[in-house]
Amino acid sequence: MGIVYAIISGKGGVGKTTTTANLGIGIAQEGKKVVLVDFDLGQRNLDLILGLENRVIYDMVHVMDDEAGLKQALIKSKHADNLFLLAASQTKDKSVLVQEKVKKLIEILKEEFDYVILDAPAGIESGFEHTIMYADATIIVVNPEVSSIRDADKAIGIVDAKSEKAKENKKVQKFLVINRINPSMVSNGDMLASADILDILSIDLLGKIPEDKGIIEASNSGKPIILNENSQAGVAYKRISKRLCGENVPFEDVESFVSPSIITKIKSLFQ
């Protein structure tokens, strides 16, 4: 039986879909069978970022309405074996989601896959609620800025109040990913430090990802940054993926700003 993760943020544009794509590849590279489900109906994105733009024929709404079989709708990733995408519908919107059908879909996926990762829409409306309803755990993605933190705080509150597990009085695991950390801004005190964010949100830290301009290019070209071994952000996603597979990967301090070493400075004098 697989584990269902919902990737949420509250605020839009903090890197939910990027995180979903990268963790999907990372976990699949660890040899697990993974399906990514795009719950952002009407604003399909995950296919683009995975480089599967024109491969979507059937989407999750077709599957839920029995217009297509699951096997027909699952799109195999080019980047990793064992990784599949179930795309969002681009023509229909969030209002077509019905709780019963969502539940059934997730139950089927849980039987087929080790990891079922749901990419939530931004906001806290019905589409968001359907995403968290049947999740075993949630991954909250935030940026180190106050508006992202407040929206995440609200989203966590909704997970605690409304998810199916919470209603059964079971704890829903909540893990925090701090995305787009700019080390020099943190050391200058211009950006919220991770310790403060953890204090406010009071959930467990899963990982920190430094700001990386390469992510934009990676998204545009459909090759998630985790495939780039020279990228700090890619390596950070790799570490998180391993943690999600149960491996005890030590936390790296991506936050402290490493100024150019003294040797680099001395060498620069020679030129």
Binding site for another protein (CB under 8 A): 146, 149-151, 153-154, 156-158, 160, 199-200, 202
Tell me how far, at minimum, the Cβ of 218 lies from another protein, in Å. 32
The whole-angstrom separation of Cα 255 and Cα 31 is 30
Plot region of 15 (φ>0 → left; ψ -120 to 50 → alpha; else → beta): left
Using the structure block, give the residue that is written with the tokens 């934009």: 216
Plot region of 202 (φ>0 → left; ψ -120 to 50 → alpha; else → beta): left
Tell me how far, at minimum, the Cβ of 83 lies from another protein, in Å. 34
Tell me how far, at minimum, the Cβ of 149 lies from another protein, in Å. 8
Nearer to another protein, 63 or 178 (CB): 178
The DSSP symbol for 227 reads G
Do 94 and 126 contact (CB within 8 A), yes or no?
Answer: yes
Nearer to another protein, 202 or 256 (CB): 202
Do 263 and 254 contact (CB within 8 A), yes or no?
Answer: no
Nearer to another protein, 194 or 231 (CB): 194
Tell me how far, at minimum, the Cβ of 40 lies from another protein, in Å. 22
Tell me the two tokens of residue 29. 């590279």
Tell me how far, at minimum, the Cβ of 182 lies from another protein, in Å. 22
Nearer to another protein, 93 or 160 (CB): 160
Do 55 and 47 contact (CB within 8 A), yes or no?
Answer: yes
Nearer to another protein, 199 or 253 (CB): 199
